[in-house]
């Protein structure tokens, strides 16, 4: 098979590549101009295209992502194979992800204000609640678990909207490619204890992962640190979480948020919140009781990230780091 090297100006059907957005081990993403709008094209890396397992994973991701239509999820519209290249057509998000903007210790804008942080948590939990409760056309629970909730996969766009992305390793009951028992996929520092042990996962694993993200944004520090993936994995399995308090530069942190985040990070899935609907409800209640709507609006979030957007102009940051 003749290799096709992606470059600006290259045409794939009705899409013309304009610039590369992100690069990863399994795929790369390019911005592309369609007939009436701009899209993101996700291409499988050439060295994976002859691997039947990767092809099934790529196809599964496409079929799963096309079922998901939510304002807080990056949309996937279509897929195709042209000139030996497998591609997915996605919504192009002009924004920055939590990792890229150094949201934890941003020199320009400091720590994320609490009302905006709560808005972030409400948006992500709302999207995951939608994902976790998706059913087939016949009413069967699809059993979707994202399995890779991390700062890399949570984006803020220039309009102040929050979006999650990358269902490449998501688990669903009807996927053709099945993760072998004991096989671990995801970013170790954002896994649940049961995920690091290769156990069968449900929605409560995503609750733990979102708990890590919230703890880190609140504290300004990484939660699970170690000299190797194995060392980090052991700390995740122990789930020893330092308590959030004023020592983390958050003297105004409501107790209700502290209690929720620590419950999300419970080692035992049975002792975490029952579902993402509960997480969204509890975060939303604090947000609305403690702050004015103008403090957590999309406009306020857009204004807060504006300095970072200026540094990322014309370069959306869809992260594919594995």
Give catalytic residue positions.
148
Q: Are 26 and 317 in contact (CB under 8 A)?
A: no
310: DSSP letter: H
Q: Which residues contact 224 (CB under 8 A, 6 or more apart)?
A: 188, 189, 212, 232, 235, 236
Which uninterrupted H or E stretch holds 38?
strand 38-44
112: DSSP letter: P
Work out the angle between the directed axes of helices 203-219 and 114-132 (0-180°, nearest 10).
Answer: 170
Q: Calculate ∠ Cα 134-276-318, nearest 5°.
A: 75
Q: Are 156 and 305 in contact (CB under 8 A)?
A: yes
State the DSSP string of 41-107. EEEE-GGGTT-HHHHHHHHHHHHHHTT---TTB--EEEEEEETTEEEEEEEPP-EEETTTTTGGG-T
Burial zone of 271 (CB within 10 Å; 0-12 exposed, 13-18 middle, 19+ buried): exposed
User: How far are the Cα atoms of 62, 70, 247 from residue 281, in angstroms, in the given order?
Assistant: 30, 18, 27
Q: Which residues contact 259 (CB under 8 A, 6 or more apart)?
A: none
């Amino acid at each position: 098979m003749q290799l096709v090297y992606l470059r600006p100006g290259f045409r794939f059907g009705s899409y013309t590549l304009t610039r590369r957005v992100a690069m990863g081990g399994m795929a790369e993403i390019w911005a592309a101009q369609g007939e009436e709008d701009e899209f993101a094209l996700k291409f499988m890396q050439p060295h994976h295209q002859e691997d039947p397992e990767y092809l099934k994973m790529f196809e599964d991701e496409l079929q799963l992502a096309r079922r998901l239509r939510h304002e807080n999820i990056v949309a996937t519209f279509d897929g195709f194979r042209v000139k030996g290249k497998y591609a997915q057509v996605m919504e192009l998000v002009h924004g920055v992800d939590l990792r890229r903007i150094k949201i934890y210790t941003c020199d320009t804008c400091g720590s994320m204000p609490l009302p905006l942080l709560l808005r972030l948590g409400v948006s992500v939990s709302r999207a995951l609640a939608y994902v976790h409760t998706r059913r087939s056309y016949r009413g069967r629970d699809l059993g979707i678990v994202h399995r890779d909730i991390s700062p890399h996969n949570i984006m803020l766009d220039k309009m102040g909207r929050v979006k999650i992305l990358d269902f490449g390793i998501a688990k669903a009951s009807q996927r053709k490619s099945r993760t072998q028992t004991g096989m671990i996929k995801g970013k170790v520092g954002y896994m649940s204890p049961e995920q690091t042990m290769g156990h069968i996962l449900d929605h409560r694993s995503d609750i733990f992962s979102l708990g890590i993200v919230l703890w880190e944004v609140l504290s300004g520090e990484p939660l699970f640190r170690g000299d190797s993936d194995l060392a980090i994995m052991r700390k995740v399995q122990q789930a020893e979480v330092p308590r959030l308090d004023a020592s983390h530069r958050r003297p105004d942190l409501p107790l209700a948020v502290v209690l929720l985040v620590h419950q999300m990070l419970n080692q035992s899935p049975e002792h975490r919140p029952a579902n993402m609907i509960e997480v969204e409800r509890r975060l939303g209640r604090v947000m609305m009781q403690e702050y004015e709507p103008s403090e957590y609006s999309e406009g306020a979030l857009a204004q807060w990230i504006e300095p970072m957007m200026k540094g990322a102009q014309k370069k959306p940051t869809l992260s594919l780091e594995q």
